[in-house]
Amino acid sequence: MNERSQYKNRIELLQGTLDMLILQTLQWGPQHGYGIVQALRLRSGDVLQVETGSLYPALHRLERQSWVQSEWKQSESKQKARYYRITAKGKKQLASDLGRWERIVEAIGSVMYVKPEESES
């Protein structure tokens, strides 16, 4: 595999993971961008810090795929904000992504948590 292809695969994995996290967050209800960032941060115990430079391109990508829909509404702070909600197509995609994610986690775990073979005496 050439270097460019490896880079593309890594970017797709990262984007796919962010997409899955956003879709999961929207399962809990419609949310504006800042709310999505806050939910991810709080649910992950401050481990996941999604920057707006990653979030909004991901939301636009999800909208183009028809996995989320958005509409302008007034936020709690009385400002206009774009609220996103997951669609039926997005829920299907999330289920597919979750299955793939579980297989990846299992595969990584099987490599990382192999018990050393007992040495022969």
pLDDT digits (tens, 9 = 90+) for 40-84: 999 999 999 999 999 999 999 999 999 999 999 998 888 999 999
Q: Which of 50, 53, 45 is nearest to 17 (CA)?
A: 50
Terminus-to-terminus CA distance in the chain, angstroms? Answer: 42
Instruction: Report CA 77 to chain centroid distance, whole Å.
Output: 26
User: What does the pLDDT read at residue 4?
Assistant: 63
Residue 80's SS3 state is strand
Residue 79's SS3 state is coil
Furthest CA-CA distance within the chain: 73
Tell me, yes or no, if the pTM score tops 0.85. no
* Fold assignment, 17-112: Arc Repressor Mutant, subunit A (1.10.10)
User: What does the pLDDT read at residue 119?
Assistant: 42
For the chain, give the percent of residues with pLDDT over 90.
67
Residue type for position 68: V
